Structure formats: C-alpha cells, structure tokens
Structure 1
Amino acid sequence: MSDFDMMALPPQLAAKVAEAGLTTPTPIQAQAIPHAMNGRDVMGLAQTGTGKTAAFGIPLIARLMEEGGRPAPKTARGLVLAPTRELAAQIAKVLRDLTDLRVQIVVGGVSINPQIQRLTKGADIMVATPGRLLDLVERRAIRLDETGFLVLDEADQMLDLGFVHALRKIASMMGDNRQTMLFSATMPKQMAEIAQSYLREPIRVEVSPPGKAADKVEQSVHFIAKAEKSALLIELMDKHRENRALVFTRTKHGADKLARNLGRAGFAVAAIHGDKRQGQRERALEAFKSRDIRVLVATDVAARGLDIPDVLYVYNYELPNVPEAYVHRIGRTARAGKEGQAVALCAPDEMPYLKDIQKVMKISIPIASGRPWEEMPDPNAPQKSTRGRGRGRPGGRPGAKPGGAPGTSKPSNRRRRKPKPKA
C-alpha cells in the first residue's frame, strides 16, 4: 500500500496514480492534497521540481470525479492558469496521465480556430495561458461562470510577465463560490495582495523557504569579462559533451547568437525564446528530450515548465536581472532528488544582479575562477584619470603622495589657473 492509498482517492484515480509510478507523496503533495480534497483554498510555496503539478492536479481531479456530471458546451469545470506555453503543455500532460476526464489546452503561438472547435463540447479541465484565454472569451468560445475550480500555477512568474490585470479580469468572470489553489516557487510582496484578492481563508503550505534552490544543486560562479564568456562556456562544456546542458541568456537576440557560436564549435544545439513559433519551440524541446541535441539555449520563457530528466548542467551565460528567475533557472537541474550543477558567468555589469541573487537566496555562491569585480579592475571599462590621486593608480607607487612622482602621470591639457595676487 502506497502513501497515496491513505488519502482516500477515488479508485479510478488511485489506479492512475499508481500507473504513473507515484508511490510516496513529495512534501508539498503530502501537505497540500488533504486540505484541497476537503475543499479548502490552498497557497502552496515550494521550489521548482518538487511535484507541485500533482499537488494540485490530484485533488482537482478527485473533486471533479466526486461531483460527477459533464461540462456544458463552451464551459470548463476547472481552470488551470500557467504563465508560459511550455508550462501549460507540461501541466496538461501530467493531468492527462492521471485521468480520463476531458483536459483541453489553450495557448498562444498556434492557430486559435482548432482550440475554438475543441471547446464547443466543453472541458472538464482547461489549462490555459491568460492571454489566449481572454482571446477565447472575447470570441465567445468559452465562458467561465460555471467554472468552480481555479488553479494559479507559478503565480509569481505571471506577475513578472505582467499578467496581473488579466488575472483580475479572469477571476471576475468566475463565480464567488469557487475553490482556488495558488502555487508558487517564490513569494514576492505583490503575491500577498493576489492571495488576499483570490483566496478565502487559505491554508498556507510551505515546504522550503522562498528563494531556496534544490538541495543537490552544486552552484559556482566565474568572474569573467563579457567578451570572454563564449570561449569559457565552450571550454567548460567541452568537458561534458555527452551530457545535456541548458544555457540561459537574458535576450532573444543573445540566445540566437550564442546558439550559432556553439553550433560552430561543434555542439548539437537549438535555441528557444518568445519569438520562436510554437512548432519550433516544441521541436527543439523534443530534440533535447530525445538527446538529438545536447545543448538548449533559452531565455526565461523556458525557466519554468521544463521537466526534462537528467539535465546535469545549467549555465547562466547571462545573469537574470530578477533574482527569483535565477532560482527557477537552476531548478531545471537536480530534479526529483537527483544531483546537478549550476554555473554562472558574471561580467562586471552583472555584479549587482549577483548581489541581489545571493541576498534573496541567503548564500554566497562559491567562486570557480576570477575575483569579484569590486576587488579587481574592469577590463571593459575606460581608464579614469587618476591625476592627483597616486594611491590605487595603475602603475603608481603604493602609498605615493597626491600628485605622484615626476613622470608617473599623464600631462594635463587643462590650463593652469594663475594664482590670485595677494591683497
């Protein structure tokens, strides 16, 4: 008998859970599922890769099965909102493995007409990104007044992506008598306002401090000039070409440029970001999962929703300017209790980002090479004039008096002021 058998799941669901290989609940599942099955609103805080999808999926399916009935045309009995297409696809896959209920996915980046057609019969569970869902509502392809269950997954990223107004609009279309579950890896200040608006007397379940990385992620940072990053990355990845590696950049252009450089270095590589068509993104992910390519270069669009086993290396080629994004990025490795390595490359202008990351995570990331940029000159910065400041001047004598010795400073082009005559 598994621990899931002690949760009094409907027999059909219990069988599906066993078929999926789920035997022992993760901490977030063990704490959240019983409260959610009792109809309570739940706020779940847990780092990525800890089984949050099943933590809300199992009780959602159980309650829908207990209610019985079928969805009316153009309605959804339960709604799961996710910030990205990749995460929505991952959630839909997990839910379909757990139930024979009708699970429909609606996301942007693909034709809307097939989605409209599929929704004519309604859905037991609809997994959606906020923008596409509002498009469907405006076209009267779906209505939410009969939706009794709402799940907000990775709610913090939805805030980061500016979906807060869309969330309020969607929630206002649903009835007040609904059960809401909110799951997130971090707890930014605005999240408390969201929780107060959407949840009623929620049970708060927290299995790890916000901003904490998975225990088995080995982190390190290299301090290196921006122009030298590509060469160092190639040197590091040359040591494990047989392993899969995720490489994160801040910009779409940067992802494409880096992928081209790695391709020229002989790596089987692809890039995914928001400008790629959905079909391109899906093909790149499938090739990465099947090991046809070993390196995937991505922007933060891929930091959530990627559940790919055995990703041993995550490289932060460019540090994110939002500290929580770093936590999500490195959460792509060391999943399900496995080990992984997260390597950051820090240029001089990224030092403030590194400080913020370490402050949020309450750690000091071990240094693999170089020295923190406050302790060494920035090779990319123009040399500042040090006239009149012998101390610390490149080439100057330690402890020299202001002005320095003759010949140690560049001649000034400024005109010297004539001394004022004495009164």
Structure 2
Amino acid sequence: MGFTSLGLSAPILKAIQEKGYDTPSPIQLQAIPAVLEGKDVMAAAQTGTGKTAGFTLPILERLSKGPRVRGNQVRALILTPTRELAAQIQENVFIYGRHLPLTSAVVFGGVKINPQMLRLRKGADVLVATPGRLMDLYNQNAVKFDQLEVLVLDEADRMLDMGFIRDIRKILQLLPEKRQNLLFSATFSDDIRELAKGLVNQPVEISVSPANSTARTVEQCIYPADVKKKAPMLVKLVNDGNWQQVLVFMRTKHGANRLATYLTEQGITAAAIHGNKSQGARTKALANFKSGEVRVLVATDIAARGIDIPQLPQVVNFELPKVAEDYVHRIGRTGRAGEVGKAISLVCAVEVPELFAIERLIQTLLPRITLAGFEPMNVLPESKLDTRPIKPKKPKKSKAVVGTPSENNPQGQAKRTNSTRGNLTKRVAGRGNSHHKPAGARTSNRTSGHRQA
C-alpha cells in the first residue's frame, strides 16, 4: 500500500515523492487515516519508525482545508522535550508542507525570546515548541490558542522524565476543550496512561514498537572492559575498524567532554554534545558530525534526541544506561530503514546489573567479544536469560516539582517527579539530562505557494 491510498492531497504526495519515500511505515499506515478522520490517537512508537511523518502529514492535510491563521494564533501545536527534536520536526513540517499555503515556526529556550515574539505576531499554522519556552511566550501574550485545532505531545515519556509535567498541565488548561489530541510515546507506561486520562478522548491506540524491540538489522555485542581501559579500547576499535561516523553515549556532560578531549588527543576528531554546550557549539558539532568532519560524536541521552542520521553505521554505549529501555532508544539510532548497523557496548564489572536488566528486557543474551590486550581484571559473570515477565512499576504519587525546567537554563532544571521513570544516579559517568536544540529559533521561509511567515 502506497501513500496515494491514504487520502493525502496532491501537494503533500508531491512533497513525499520529492523526499524519496514511496511506501508508508507501519505507524504511518495506522496513524494517518485515524488523524485524518479527526480521532484522538495514542501511539507507542520509538525513534526511527517514521512517527513524525505519521502525524505531520495528516495534520498538514487537515490544516490545508481550514481558515487562515490570525495574528499570534496557532492552529496546530506540537510539544516536544528537546530543542534538537523540535528542530527536526520543524524541518519535516517544512519539507512536507512546502507546496501548501501554510506557515510554521519553532520556539525553544536558550536563545533570545524577542525574535520569537516578533515571528508569532503573524501567527503560525503549525507551532513546534518546547514546554518551558511556550509558557514564557504565553505569559508575554505572544501566543494565543483560540484557533487551536490539534495538539501533539511527542516523546511524552521523555517529557515526563525531564520534569515537564507541571508545564504540560498548565498548557492543557490554556487550550480549547474542543480539539484533536495526539500522544506519541516510546511505551504505554503507567505514567503515560495516567497523563492520557486527562488528554485523549476514546483514542485509537497504536503500538508498532514494543519497549523491548530492537531492529533485526542491528548487530549487537559487548566488549568486557575495566573502567580505566574503556577509552583506549574505544580508540583501538575506531582505528582498527576505520570507523568514520560513530555516535557514543555517555551518562554525564562532564564525562562526554573528557572522552571527546581524549579522543581528539589520540588523533580521532571528536566533539561532545550536551546541555551545557552553547547553541553555536552544539550546532557546529552536529553539522560537522553529519558532514564527516568529526568522526565521533559523544552525546548524553537527552542531547541525542533529535539527531537524525539515516545511515549511521555504529553506535557505542561507552556506559550502559541505568534504565534498560534507554538501551533500546540508543541503539535505535542505527540500523534504520533496513540498513545494517552495529551497536557495541563497553561493559565493566560494576555495570553487570544494568547488563542483566537489558538482556532480560530484550530477551537476548548479548554476545561477548574479548579484545586482545584489553582483557578485564574484573571478569563479568556469565549471563542467564531471565524469561520472567517484567512487572510494571506501580505509579507513585507526584511530589511538588521544585522550579520549572527551562530550556534556556539547563543548570536550573527541575527535579524529576516521583511519577517519572528512573532515578538520577551520580557516578563517574552519570546520565546527561539536558534539553537543547542545535540551531537558533528558525522560521520557515516557504516558497512554491507557501506564504512566508
């Protein structure tokens, strides 16, 4: 079944063809008709499934048949946790809507708010926003929702993880009751279902990517290593394999900086991307990585959201994530669209609990490869596959959030609520938790019938 059978108009089909796509993904086959019919949707879909097009295409189709947007008004609001992801979605909106008389904009923190306020004076058919900056703009009367028709919460699970629940609830109170609601999350956790109770109305539930699913095209393995030998081991793997484009995951911002510096000193071009980096540095690092000027990009989990490279050959877990589901998110960056990819994890003895949790989640024993000259002094115990079903965590009552997470103040990020998944654990390489974007607040300069904002 092709896109022509999904009820999309000629201008959108033309944009899809120009993008090089001809066959819808499973999530697109299910989501597009439901959204076109005006139904609420609750979808479990991970990165790389085509979910962004799954909601942007039908939203653009519906908006193209409606009234013109008025000043400061928004017709479709897409909320996303990070600047990188916001920019990626905005790019998709622009590409798929280039032949339509619609406007779009993206707003996020970390950049000056005045240009964003000026941009919104003309209104936007589609506004992609991070929650904190959207609230800032609303409080300054720069954005209004009287014309709002559609609300999208993308990567809702990550927004809860990052402590955005209070902002989300505030935003929901500002929106018209009569609207279409689309919720996209990696999983239907208890927290997500609790959020959905006050959001979606008799939704169409779609699940195309179970929490434990990993792409069949991804070759997974682990290299046992002592902590102090991980960095030199990575150097050897990169050099011996002649890897030219590698995404490396770290838990902390400082750890990412140290590793990028070490790799550079060893003659491997590397850059780090995380919340403490300036906008210019983040943009440059990502651009250089995509172009091949930088061979290794070291990223924290949150900062990696929105990195969209179709044929990324290798992903390395320099440290295993504390939450097993994040392993699936990480390695989902490679092996996309049927391409073959490699997911390599450097595992030390203290990470055995995380390793066992991951293997239990994906129901696979990861093959182990011992690298000559890097045999660990602390040997990893053998794994035994635990086939018992994983019991869902009972939802906890949320405590008051201390402060409000703001994209333009990563150091002042709010504490997580108890209802969110996982705990922050401080270690030598703890989790990075930032939410930033690679380029400034971009607006769409439309051509070919697309009126300029």
Output the TM-score relative to the length of structure 1: 0.85
Asked if structure 1 preserves the Cα contact closer than 8 Å seen for 2:311 and 2:334, the reply is: yes
- 1:219-258 mapped onto 2 (5 Å cutoff): 219-258=220-259
Aligned to 1:34: 33
**Cα deviation code 1:168-221 (max 9, x no counterpart):** 111111111111111122332211111222111111111132231222111111
Aligned to 1:347: 348
Give secondary structure in 1 for the equivalent of 2:198: helix
With over 3 angstroms needed to count, the CA separation of the structure-2 counterparts of 1:37 and 1:65, relative to structure 1, is: same
**Cα deviation code 1:7-51 (max 9, x no counterpart):** 221222222222222211011101111111001111121232011
Aligned to 2:95: 97
Aligned to 1:181: 182
- 1:18-417 mapped onto 2 (5 Å cutoff): 18-67=17-66, 69-100=67-98, 101-369=102-370, 373-374=380-381
Give secondary structure in 2 for the equivalent of 1:253: helix
Give secondary structure in 2 for the equivalent of 1:368: coil
AA paired with 1:21? Answer: G
Asked if structure 2 preserves the Cα contact closer than 8 Å seen for 1:47 and 1:211, the reply is: no
AA paired with 1:343? Answer: I
Q: Which of 1 and 2 has greater Rg?
A: 1
With over 3 angstroms needed to count, the CA separation of the structure-2 counterparts of 1:375 and 1:40, relative to structure 1, is: closer
Distance across 1 between alignment mates of 2:65 and 2:39 = 15
With over 3 angstroms needed to count, the CA separation of the structure-2 counterparts of 1:164 and 1:79, relative to structure 1, is: same
> What percent of counterpart residues are identical?
46
Shift of 1:260: 0.5
Distance across 2 between alignment mates of 1:366 and 1:212 = 17
Q: Tell which has more relative contact order, 1 or 2 (C-alpha 8 A, sep 6+).
A: 2
AA paired with 1:80? Answer: I
Asked if structure 2 preserves the Cα contact closer than 8 Å seen for 1:314 and 1:332, the reply is: yes
With over 3 angstroms needed to count, the CA separation of the structure-2 counterparts of 1:202 and 1:174, relative to structure 1, is: same
Distance across 2 between alignment mates of 1:241 and 1:273 = 26
Give secondary structure in 2 for the equivalent of 1:332: coil
**Aligned residue pairs, count:** 374
Distance across 2 between alignment mates of 1:109 and 1:191 = 27
Shift of 1:375: 5.9
Shift of 1:274: 0.5
AA paired with 1:351? Answer: V
Distance across 2 between alignment mates of 1:287 and 1:183 = 30
Asked if structure 2 preserves the Cα contact closer than 8 Å seen for 1:185 and 1:211, the reply is: no
Distance across 2 between alignment mates of 1:108 and 1:358 = 37
Shift of 1:242: 4.5
Distance across 2 between alignment mates of 1:200 and 1:94 = 27
Shift of 1:126: 0.3
AA paired with 1:373? Answer: L
AA paired with 1:287? Answer: N
Asked if structure 2 preserves the Cα contact closer than 8 Å seen for 1:49 and 1:336, the reply is: yes
Give secondary structure in 2 for the equivalent of 1:302: coil
Distance across 2 between alignment mates of 1:374 and 1:20 = 48
**Cα deviation code 1:63-96 (max 9, x no counterpart):** 11122x2212111100111111111111110110
Asked if structure 2 preserves the Cα contact closer than 8 Å seen for 1:246 and 1:313, the reply is: yes
The unaligned stretches of length 5 or more in structure 1 are: 377-423
Q: Which moved more, 1:192-201 or 1:143-152?
A: 143-152
Aligned to 1:412: none
Distance across 2 between alignment mates of 1:314 and 1:242 = 11
Distance across 2 between alignment mates of 1:317 and 1:217 = 17
Give secondary structure in 2 for the equivalent of 1:301: coil
Distance across 2 between alignment mates of 1:22 and 1:267 = 35
Shift of 1:279: 2.0
AA paired with 1:9? Answer: L
AA paired with 1:104? Answer: A
Distance across 2 between alignment mates of 1:302 and 1:213 = 21
Give secondary structure in 2 for the equivalent of 1:303: coil
Aligned to 2:421: none
With over 3 angstroms needed to count, the CA separation of the structure-2 counterparts of 1:375 and 1:207, relative to structure 1, is: closer
AA paired with 1:209? Answer: P
Shift of 1:355: 2.2
AA paired with 1:95? Answer: V
Distance across 1 between alignment mates of 2:215 and 2:186 = 11
With over 3 angstroms needed to count, the CA separation of the structure-2 counterparts of 1:375 and 1:310, relative to structure 1, is: closer
**Cα deviation code 1:100-119 (max 9, x no counterpart):** 42110001121111111101
Shift of 1:372: 6.0
Distance across 2 between alignment mates of 1:326 and 1:229 = 18
AA paired with 1:327? Answer: V
Distance across 2 between alignment mates of 1:238 and 1:164 = 44
2:16 matches 1:17: yes
Asked if structure 1 preserves the Cα contact closer than 8 Å seen for 2:256 and 2:272, the reply is: yes
Asked if structure 2 preserves the Cα contact closer than 8 Å seen for 1:77 and 1:149, the reply is: yes
With over 3 angstroms needed to count, the CA separation of the structure-2 counterparts of 1:372 and 1:169, relative to structure 1, is: farther
Asked if structure 1 preserves the Cα contact closer than 8 Å seen for 2:32 and 2:55, the reply is: yes
Distance across 2 between alignment mates of 1:241 and 1:109 = 36
Asked if structure 2 preserves the Cα contact closer than 8 Å seen for 1:333 and 1:339, the reply is: yes
AA paired with 2:235? Answer: I
Aligned to 1:400: none
AA paired with 1:88? Answer: A
**Cα deviation code 1:373-402 (max 9, x no counterpart):** 3469xxxxxxxxxxxxxxxxxxxxxxxxxx
